[in-house]
Amino acid sequence: MTDLALFGFGPAGWGAALLRATLVTLGVAVSAFAIGAVLGAVVAATKLSGSRALRAAGDAYTTVLRGVPDLLVIYLVYFGGSAIVTRLGQAMGAEGFLGLPSFLAGALACGLVSGAYQAEVFRGAALAVPRGQVEAARALGMDGGLRFRRILAPQIVAIALPGLGNVWQLALKESALVSVTGLVELLRQSQIGAGSTHQPFAFYVAAGALYLVLTTGSTLLFGRAEWRMSRSLRRL
């Protein structure tokens, strides 16, 4: 079978399967990045707070999640979550093992890891905002919420965008690890195709090309967003 037929969209081709798996990979990465953004913002706020206990909790979160291998986090979330779901199911009369959905487990695990990195990006961006602007806004009578919306938030986002772009690329590549839970994403689909056709090189090259399409497109989008944000801040 030629490469064109192998990766075609006909009955014998693997093109449709790889395309669906690519969408699953993108879905896991987007979900993980969104979860990480929420967690990162909260943890960054704790690390910048005046409470020693909150700062310690934030430091513990980022230290543990950045120090533990990502694959181990996925295993802990998947099997730990499955154990909780199984116990809840048994309490409701179900029998046997009830696994946590692979997509949910992967998104949560990668989101936890992404949140640790995004927290540091947000914290650094917040510290980079000139304190004089905040003091000037306070002197003008702006309350905390108004200062955050008009002074802090736009500049934090603009400063954080390059770092967030790097974290997004990490989330996109970490999604390949979710295949250990049985989720058929891009890498897992490539393994299935390689085993079925005995052409591993062709499938792994195709997977690499698809990952490059995703990462290159993401780089262009983040670059465009950085340009628009910097342009908006210059006007301000």
Buried (b) or exposed (e) across 14-39, using 16+ Cβ within 10 A?
beebbeebbebbbebbebbbebbbeb
Largest CA distance in the chain: 73
Tokens for 94? 């179900």
Give the DSSP H or E segment for 124: helix 102-128
Give the pLDDT band of residue 59 (cuts 50, 70, 90).
Answer: very high
Round the average pLDDT of the chain to a whole number and report it. Answer: 89
**Is the pLDDT reported for residue 1 higher than 60?**
no
Q: What are the chain's domains?
A: 3-235 (1.10.3720.10)
Q: What is the dihedral of CA 55, 60, 66, 69, to 10 degrees?
A: -170
Calculate mean pLDDT across residues 69-97: 88
84 pLDDT more than 70: yes
Residue in this structure with the two tokens 């430091």, named with its chain if needed: 59
How many alpha carbons fall within 13 Å on the CB side of residue 39? 23
Q: Is residue 97 classed as helix, strand or coil in its secondary structure?
A: coil
**Angle value at C-alpha 10, between 8 and 14, nearest 5 degrees:** 50
pLDDT for res 234: 63
Closest CA to 179 of 85, 94, 86, 110: 110
Query: pLDDT-derived band of residue 197, with 50, 70 and 90 as boundaries?
Result: confident
- Reduce the secondary structure of 176-188 to three states and give it as a string: HHHHHHCCCCHHH
Backbone angles phi, psi at 125, to 5 degrees: -65, -40
Confidence category of residue 232, pLDDT binned at 50, 70, 90: low
209 pLDDT exceeds 90?
A: yes
So what's the pLDDT on residue 132?
77
Q: CB-based contacts of 216: which residues, under 8 Å, 6+ apart?
A: none
Given a cut of 80, whether residue 49 has pLDDT beyond it is yes
Sign of CA dihedral 43, 47, 48, 51: positive
Pair 218, 172: CB distance under 8 Å: yes
**pLDDT beyond 80 at 195:** yes
Percent of the chain having pLDDT more than 70? 96
Q: Which residue has the tokens 């500049």?
A: 155
Q: Which pLDDT band, with edges at 50, 70 and 90, does 235 fall under?
A: low
User: Beta-carbon neighbour count of residue 11 at 10 Å?
Assistant: 6
pLDDT of residue 3: 64
Amino acid identity, residue 23?
Answer: L
Looking at residue 135, its pLDDT comes to 76
